[in-house]
Chain A
Amino acid sequence: MKSFRWIAVLSFLGFIVGLTGCMAKPDVELTKTFQTGEFGTARAYMVEKTAKLKVLGEKDKPDRNYGLEWMRTGMVTLADGYAPEGFSAWDRVYYMLRKQNLNSNISDVGAFFGTQDMAKIWKGEPFEQSLAYVCVGSHYAMQGSWDNARAAFQNSTFPLKAIKGKDDATTKKVRSTQDVINASKNVDESKYFGKDNILEVETNFAMGYLLQGLASRQIAIANGDASMLQQAGEAFNKALKLDPGLSALVNRLNDSSSYNTVLLVDYGRGPQKIGTGPDNSIAAFKALKASGSTGVSVVNGSESISFTPICDVNGMAVDHRWNNLQDMRTAKSYLGTGLLVAGAATAAIGQSQETAIIGLILMAGGAALKATAYADTRYCEVMPQRYYLVPVMIKGPNSTIRLSIEGNTTVLAGLSPPSSRQAQFRYVRLLTGPNLPAWTKSGQILYANEHAPMAGAVALPYILGGTCVSPPSAAALARYRSAGYLRAMTVAQLEGLYRQEGITWTTQDTQGQVCKHVLEGGNSLVCPLPGTLGYARLFGQPHRPYSPKSKEVADLARSLAPPPAEKAASR
């Protein structure tokens, strides 16, 4: 009987160890492809994952990871230079964040006996939500829809929660989650975690105000609305109050004659969410890239200028105002430990079979509580460590901009002045590392596309052996004809060739998602915006020749094989 009891005790200890391994881990496939700039592959991976998610109605509850998966998809799409006009990943994230009462079905008892990541619909920590709103705004600013960008940026400056200490000084000082936990030791925790002691404080998110000011200013430029100009001034003043070091940048943003293009530069790998403390019950963020104040050097024609960071994501992640409280998880862990110890003692010391069973039940309860006490470590692992805002004046067509941070250099190609008086906006992800691919510095456009129709060596569709990936159109066909190709073909026939290959040139067929580009082995001609990392990657390096899928395209490609001299030029 005694040996049975001890076997049971040891079995339950093993059970605990097994269960605690269920904590969410970063998506390896996503991070690997994203960090090396293989955004097309990362996007295709996410498109496949999100295809399984339920479509939401106004009153529907999303899947638990709905917001997280769409945010990851949105990040890889944005970093790759795409801002599709259909119902995009960022629209989905926005509408999810705007829903109230999402997690109301989780009663305290339900949450207590489940795990946080099993029970909760992911909305992210407050700082992740704020950054998500920035990305939604960036998505719309890239489309030139500054009014929607303003709405999203405005949402990023929501009020935060702070824990009131003996005086209000604690709410004014930036403190890490660990600081708060340390401070709460040996004191009545109700003073820290009691409902009456949670304060609402104004956000310290200077980047949100800066972008809000920028968007309001662009609206005022277009419609002459004095109230928008005033709103821009107020937002800039709030940003300056939070960070006086932004004054040079704000002066530049207030002078519309000094820029017509704004780059939001995303740099470094964002912090990783981990579980710490007893049974990993406290969520914390670990920096993967150290914070720093190194500026980004920008070379734009003859102008050379440097800008300092406007947002440190590491700093936000450890500031307790930007995180949720963990008291329930910690309580579960302690209670679980108590039950486990009591159960083990009862099972081991008890004289009858009944007491052994009661002991085992207590242990099981304790083990379950401990195993499920772990913090919800789901997070968006493709967030950056910091952001820069770079307003520049693009003077001529197909301009290049050189950006350097800590020896990591990227050349953005294909930028032209905007067609309206409003500035154009680009979200630019910069890669880091010792062996950056050559395309990051190439600055070339090797393939004709909808933004650079005259680029490339052979004015013939890529699927027929040329270097043009423009969508089929009368203008594209005219270019092929003037180069001596496809003289008898109509636009409808040209479109038919792409359809036979299963190639699309809108996001309408793919529910607003951008699939992998045909140059990367995908089936889409939808092109990233010039002046983004995706554009540099796609058009700044040679790709393998296209392998036709249909007999008709293969036969036509063979009959149109360009002369050897042109072939050599296209390499």
Chain B
Amino acid sequence: MGALTRILLVLSVSMAIGCESPPQTSGITSDDLDEVTAQMSAKLASSDFLRDRNPSSPPILITINKVENLTSDLIPPAEQWMLMARLQGSLNLVSVRNQKNISFQVPPEYGPLIRDAGYNEPLPHSPMFTHTMTATYRSATRTKREDGFVVGRVDLYQMQYRIFDVTTRALVWNDEFAYKREALGRAQD
């Protein structure tokens, strides 16, 4: 092998170093939100609030009226309401609706936003709701630093859901879900 060939080979290998490392983010993704939604709907269905209900219980109609993002990351309104629409979709399963006589809805004014975001399932609406649901998302951030540079970041997200009785304003259900996202690599490169 000639000297020139060797030099070119070394340079090529050196320039290729690090090509396999993909970008990472500790931000919230739709998959994370879907996972939390699935956990949340399962826990709500088996909660004290719903456990003793049966098909002949007085009907409950819950409207999801507020989503608040107090994390250090963006959750665009369309994504916030898309999540609630998916939640409503999973809770409006025939089994829950028929066996517990309960249904969920998102406010009709968010319908176009949810549709724009790509949600195509039904969005039922009735003005006669009996309960409201709120969702609040919070986060805490930890960073790893080397030589003054952030080289790793962990975000712990906590999602709190609450259901209130519209007549008494009493809190009838409250639960929290947490998950962690981590990312390695320089934050400012």
Contacts and interface: CB of A to CB of B under 8 A. Distances in A.
Contact of B18 (A107, A199, A200): A107
Interface in B58-87: 68-78
Contacts of A107: 14-18
B19 interface: yes
B107 interface: no
A59 B183 contact: no
Interface in B1-52: 11, 14-27, 29
B148 interface: yes
B24 A151 contact: no
Interface in B134-182: 145, 147-150, 152-153
Contact of B77 (A143, A150, A219, A506): A143
Interface size range of chain A in the complex: 35 or more
A154 interface: yes
Contacts of B116: 85-86, 506, 508
A196 interface: yes
B72 A154 contact: yes
B22 A59 contact: yes
Interface centre among B25, B26, B145 (most CB of A within 10 A): B25
B189 A151 contact: no
B97 interface: no
A94 interface: yes
Contacts of A154: 72
B113 interface: yes
Contact of B17 (A86, A101, A110): A110
Contact of A198 (B78, B147, B185, B187): B147
A103 B78 contact: no
Nearest to A101: B185
B18 A106 contact: yes
B120 interface: no
Given A86-B78, A91-B74, A123-B188, A100 B21 contact: no
Contact of B147 (A85, A94, A109, A195): A195
A513 interface: no
Contacts of A228: 70
Contacts of A150: 70
Nearest to B20: A105
Contact of A101 (B19, B23, B71, B113): B23
Interface centre among B24, B75, B116, B148 (most CB of A within 10 A): B148
B148 A199 contact: yes
Interface residues of B, number: 43
B14 A110 contact: yes
A100 B73 contact: no
A108 B126 CA distance: 62
B186 A100 contact: yes
Interface in A45-95: 58-61, 85-87, 91, 94-95
A148 B23 contact: no
B186 A151 contact: no
A372 interface: no
A334 interface: no
Contact of B73 (A98, A110, A199): A98
A480 interface: no
Contacts of B77: 85, 143, 145, 148
B79 to A, nearest CB: 9
B96 interface: no
Given A94-B74, A100-B23, A103-B189, A148 B17 contact: no
12 contacts: A87-B78, A98-B26, A100-B153, A100-B187, A103-B189, A105-B18, A145-B76, A151-B71, A198-B149, A219-B68, A223-B68, A228-B70
Instruction: In the A-B complex, list the 5 residue pairs whose CB atoms are closest, starting with the nearest.
Output: A101-B185, A109-B14, A100-B185, A110-B15, A107-B17
Interface of B: 11, 14-27, 29, 68-78, 113, 116, 145, 147-150, 152-153, 183-189
Given A105-B19, A109-B14, A129-B188, 16 more contacts: A61-B22, A87-B78, A95-B74, A100-B24, A100-B26, A100-B150, A100-B189, A104-B23, A105-B20, A107-B16, A110-B16, A113-B11, A123-B188, A158-B188, A159-B150, A223-B68
